[in-house]
């Protein structure tokens, strides 16, 4: 009997070990998929295609729901007709914001020379979003590979050039900017810990000097250890540069570690005091910037499980009491799949819509319900 128990415990340890290894492998696969399987360049015909479709005179008013949906137009190959349909679905979802990467690598492909096709495309993209009553939220990150390994000072100079270009061309269409993406995530980090505060302050100052009432967001992956410590360290070094601290949390999907649900995360957020002067959190606002569930394994982690995930999110948002009013945004990741036919890859299947941007998954209705309750 004792031998059986020892063998059983060893099997559990091995299963736990391989579970972690599998999650790490899927995490790396997702990053590889994002960086290599999409063309982020915008061709001249794509930029010109906005002028070939009928103009919109919708002029819908923004919905003040406090919900955000991430929309990657590169998943649709920057096809204007499909992108417009995506906006129709985002409006039907009743979200307030559409969150989109304006990638450094797309705007300044060589790090220096602006791509006018890309800037014109995004200008039309955000103008169209606003016509649907959707407020743009711009994510500033994803440098071209040619600048990643430059000396720190040169990298910061090119970062400043990128921010200036985006603000100059698109700042009149947006007043909410996310600086970088998950700086605590080594897969997406751009600046090392010694350079990060300077990069944040440069971007924040440039944006706030040019865009009236601009809000600056930084987001942290809460599924990695010590995210709060890392956030507090950055806040302590950047003064009032950051207005909103968001978390990205993916319980039960490709996050590294066991599924602990929302309880631990909500407990941590509840313990953050934004009202006491003298603390690094004073005067800031909190947000759930990204959450979602990948439907990458039918029957096991499919559309039904995604729907259950959003039902659980809705339940947790309704029971958190006073914290609810302190969470400025709830962000759904994401609007549509990058590739609904990809095998296993979790990053390809987070959409509330299939990649055709027309077929709704069951979780779409639950996300809409969350928007309506906000």
CATH of the domain at 261: 3.20.20.80
The answer to whether 207 touches 169, Cβ cutoff 8 Å, is no
pTM: 0.89
> What number of CA atoms fall less than 13 Å from residue 27's CA on the CB side?
19
Q: What pLDDT, on a 0 to 100 scale, did the predictor assign at position 46?
A: 64
Neighbours of 271 (CB within 10 A): 9
What pLDDT sits at residue 371? 95
Q: Which domain holds residue 128?
A: 2-373
Q: Which residues pair with residue 242 across a beta bridge?
A: none
- Distances, alpha carbon 84 to alpha carbons 90, 187, 300, 354, in Å: 10, 31, 32, 15
Residue 6 pLDDT level (bands cut at 50, 70, 90): very low
Query: Does the pLDDT of residue 22 top 80, yes or no?
Result: no
Task: Tell me which of 9-13, 122-126, 237-241, 274-278 is least confident.
Answer: 9-13
Peptide bond into 334 cis (omega under 30): yes
> Which has the minimum average pLDDT: 66-80, 151-165, 243-257?
243-257
Cα 273 → chain centroid: 24
Instruction: Give the per-residue pLDDT at 253.
Output: 76
Tally of domains within the chain: 1
pLDDT for res 57: 62
pLDDT in tens, 140-184: 999 999 999 999 999 999 999 999 999 999 999 999 999 999 999
SS3 288: strand
> Phi-psi region for residue 213, left (φ > 0), alpha (ψ -120 to 50) or beta?
left
């Amino acid at each position: 009997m004792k031998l059986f128990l020892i063998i059983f415990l060893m099997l559990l340890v091995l299963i736990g070990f391989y579970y972690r290894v599998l999650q790490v492998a899927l995490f790396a696969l997702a990053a590889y998929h994002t960086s290599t399987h999409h063309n982020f360049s915008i061709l001249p015909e794509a930029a010109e295609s906005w002028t070939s479709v009928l103009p919109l005179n919708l002029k819908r008013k923004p919905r003040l729901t406090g919900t955000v949906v991430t929309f990657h137009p590169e998943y649709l190959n920057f096809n204007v007709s499909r992108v417009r349909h995506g906006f129709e679905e985002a409006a039907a979802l009743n979200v307030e914001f559409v969150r989109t990467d304006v990638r450094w690598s797309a705007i300044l492909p060589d790090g220096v020379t602006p791509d006018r096709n890309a800037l014109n495309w995004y200008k039309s993209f955000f103008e169209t979003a606003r016509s649907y009553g959707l407020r743009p939220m711009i994510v500033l990150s994803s440098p071209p590979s040619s600048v990643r390994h430059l000396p720190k000072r040169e990298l910061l100079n090119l970062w400043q050039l990128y921010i200036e270009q985006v603000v100059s061309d698109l700042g009149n269409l947006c007043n909410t900017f996310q600086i970088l993406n998950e700086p605590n995530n080594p897969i997406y980090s751009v600046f090392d810990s010694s350079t990060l505060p300077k990069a944040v302050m440069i971007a924040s100052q440039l944006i706030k000097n040019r865009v009236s009432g601009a809000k600056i967001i930084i987001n942290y992956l809460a599924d990695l250890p010590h995210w709060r410590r890392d956030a507090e360290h950055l806040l302590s070094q950047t003064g009032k540069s950051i207005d909103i601290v968001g978390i990205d949390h993916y319980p039960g999907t490709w996050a590294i570690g066991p599924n602990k649900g929302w309880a631990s995360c909500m407990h941590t957020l509840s313990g953050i005091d934004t009202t006491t002067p003298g603390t690094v959190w004073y005067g800031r606002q909190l947000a759930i910037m990204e959450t979602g569930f990948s439907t990458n394994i039918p029957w096991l982690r499919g559309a039904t499980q995604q729907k259950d995930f959003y039902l659980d999110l809705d339940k947790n948002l309704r029971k958190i009491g006073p914290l609810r009013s302190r969470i400025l945004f709830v962000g759904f990741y994401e609007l549509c799949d990058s590739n609904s036919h990809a095998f296993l890859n979790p990053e390809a299947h987070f959409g509330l819509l299939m990649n055709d941007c027309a077929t709704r998954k069951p979780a779409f209705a639950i996300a809409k319900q969350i928007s309506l309750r906000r």
